[in-house]
Amino acid sequence: MAAAAATPARAWWRTAAPASASTAAVSCFRVGAKSLTGLQMTSTRTNKVRTVHVKSGEAEGSPSTESITRDEETLQRDLQTAIQEEDYAQAAKLRDELRVLQEDSRSAVLAANARFYNAFKNGDLVAMHSTWAKGDHVYVVHPSAGRISGYDMVMQSWEMVCDADYEFPLQIDLQDVEVHVRGDLGYVTCLELVKTKGSSSWGRQVATNVFEKVDGKWFICIHHASHFDE
């Protein structure tokens, strides 16, 4: 894109109008003086719920699930059976177990989300590597850039972020956070407010982060962020 090439490189979290997806099928992801070609742009929206401030060292672990002996699908099935058989005492017990499992899973996904943003905030490439699932199915969409697929390419894109000529840690506030979990998949939607040291303005992105549970631990497998202007 000739127009993009003429624009000075800047961090994506700096305030800017989002590029139009209709102008080109390919866009360039820029951090500092480096670039990586992506594929296709999309956008997303979030609904307001609450505000979360991401701080270094926050939520270093995930809640234990060792006491949960049945998965969500089994509990849902047993609950429906108990209701059909009018065994309301058992139904109440199963409903409580299901609520505990769902709350535990949401907490664990939020903890994984915090680990991801702590790695981003601190420019910590080692921590960023540890937060991502491995495989060709993972992908990232940075603002004003295309889809970058596969673990190796995703990590290369984060290497560019962490090696950029900006002073870390960044200041990152998350707003309008929602978390949803179904079985071994969960996702978080939020509004990212990102500011570099000494800057007076915030970059605003809407983001969707998808997580998968592997061997009892949650890993991010999709990060999709797009510029947002009110």
How high is the pLDDT of residue 11? 57
54-68, 80-94, 176-190, 194-208: least confident range: 54-68
In-domain check, residue 135: yes
- What is the extent of the structural domain holding 57? 2-65+101-227
In-domain check, residue 28: yes
Query: Which residues lie across from 207 on neighbouring strands?
Result: 190, 225
Question: Which CATH number is 59's domain given?
Answer: 3.10.450.50
Higher pLDDT, 143 or 1: 143
In-domain check, residue 77: no
Q: What is the mean pLDDT of residues 222-228?
A: 95
In-domain check, residue 8: yes
Distance from C-alpha of 158 to C-alpha of 123, rounded to nearest angstrom? 9
Higher pLDDT, 156 or 101: 156
- Most confident listed range (23-27, 86-90, 171-175): 171-175
In-domain check, residue 78: no
Per DSSP, helices labelled H in 132-183 are: 151-162
- Rounded to 10 deg, the angle between the 88-122 and 72-84 helix axes is 160
Nearest to 209 by CA among 124, 144, 105, 139: 139
The model's confidence at residue 189, banded by pLDDT at 50, 70 and 90, is very high
Instruction: State the number of CA atoms in the 13 A half-sphere of 77 facing the CB.
Output: 5
Higher pLDDT, 49 or 75: 75
The DSSP string of 172-217 is EEEEEEEEEEETTEEEEEEEEEEE-TT-SS-EEEEEEEEEEEETTE
How high is the pLDDT of residue 13? 57
Structure tokens at 12: 């994506």
Structural domain total, the chain: 1
- Tell me: the pLDDT tens digits for 59-100? 334 333 333 346 777 888 898 998 999 999 988 988 888 888
Q: 96 burial class (0-12, 13-18, 19+ CB within 10 angstroms)?
A: exposed
Pairing verdict, β 217-227 and 203-214? antiparallel
Distance from C-alpha of 36 to C-alpha of 163, rounded to nearest angstrom? 14
In-domain check, residue 91: no
In-domain check, residue 76: no
In-domain check, residue 95: no
DSSP assignment letter at 134: P
